[in-house]
Amino acid sequence: MKLLEDKIKKDGLAVNEHILKVDSFINHQIDPMLMQEMGKDIAEHFKDRGITKIATIESSGIAPALMTAVAMDIPLIILKKQPSKILNQDLYQTVVTSFTKETNYELTLSKKYISDNDHVLIVDDFLANGEAATAALRLLRMSHATIAGFAVLIEKSFQPGREKLLSQGIEVYALARIAKMAENYIEFV
């Protein structure tokens, strides 16, 4: 998506060859019009596929996921992070390794909000190693819901996330794909 690539070139900050900061328009401050356009783009790509719900991982996936849910007029479910395992039979739970924080956390989903009748599109801000996305898939599959695909604003294509999802039969739709980064340098696929 040209709009997002232009914004990344203008306001994104490549900290080093691995980390891109987009705090001024995605992660900390949000550009609402850009976010809305990105939600519409994802909704258009996945239209007419019988999708019943959008799912995302809290917290930076919520903005793009909500905009997609608005454009598709379907509910958004937020997979919630908890620091440690709590025993609760009303929840599906799985462990995730965090890329940015280098810690483990528990991802949870209430059984109330998902069923085997659901066909779910997962939306997130970044795809890097695919750990968060894989955990989301694991969690959603516990409910026997089916997965329509994974949509992401920014894919770092030099990391293995895309391959990891494709190898599990999941379609990946990325609005911007970064081939290479270095300090203050960004190259798109």
Binding site for ligand 5GP (CB under 6 A): 19-22, 27, 60, 99-100, 124-133, 161
Minimum CB distance to ligand 5GP, residue 100 (Å): 5
Task: Give the residue with the Cβ less far from ligand 5GP, 41 or 124.
Answer: 124
* Count of beta carbons in the 10 Å neighbourhood of residue 189: 11
Alpha-carbon gap, residue 60 to 83, rounded angstroms: 17
Least Å distance between CB 90 and ligand 5GP?
A: 26
| Nearest distance from C-beta of residue 15 to ligand 5GP, angstroms | 8
In the bound complex, what is the minimum distance in angstroms from residue 105's beta carbon to ligand 5GP? 11
Helix, strand, coil proportions of the chain in percent (round to 5)? 30, 35, 35
Amino acid identity, position 63? A
Pairing of strands 119-127, 91-97: unpaired
Beta carbon nearer to ligand 5GP, 52 or 159:
159
Cβ closer to ligand 5GP: 18 or 144?
Answer: 18
Q: How far apart are CA 113 and CA 139, in angstroms?
A: 12
Nearest approach in angstroms of CB 49 to ligand 5GP is 23
How far, in whole angstroms, is CA 60 from its chain's centroid? 8
Q: Which is nearer to ligand 5GP, 121 or 133 (CB)?
A: 133
Closer residue to ligand 5GP (CB): 22 or 91: 22
Tokens of 83: 């620091």
Cβ contact 109:74 at 8 Å: no
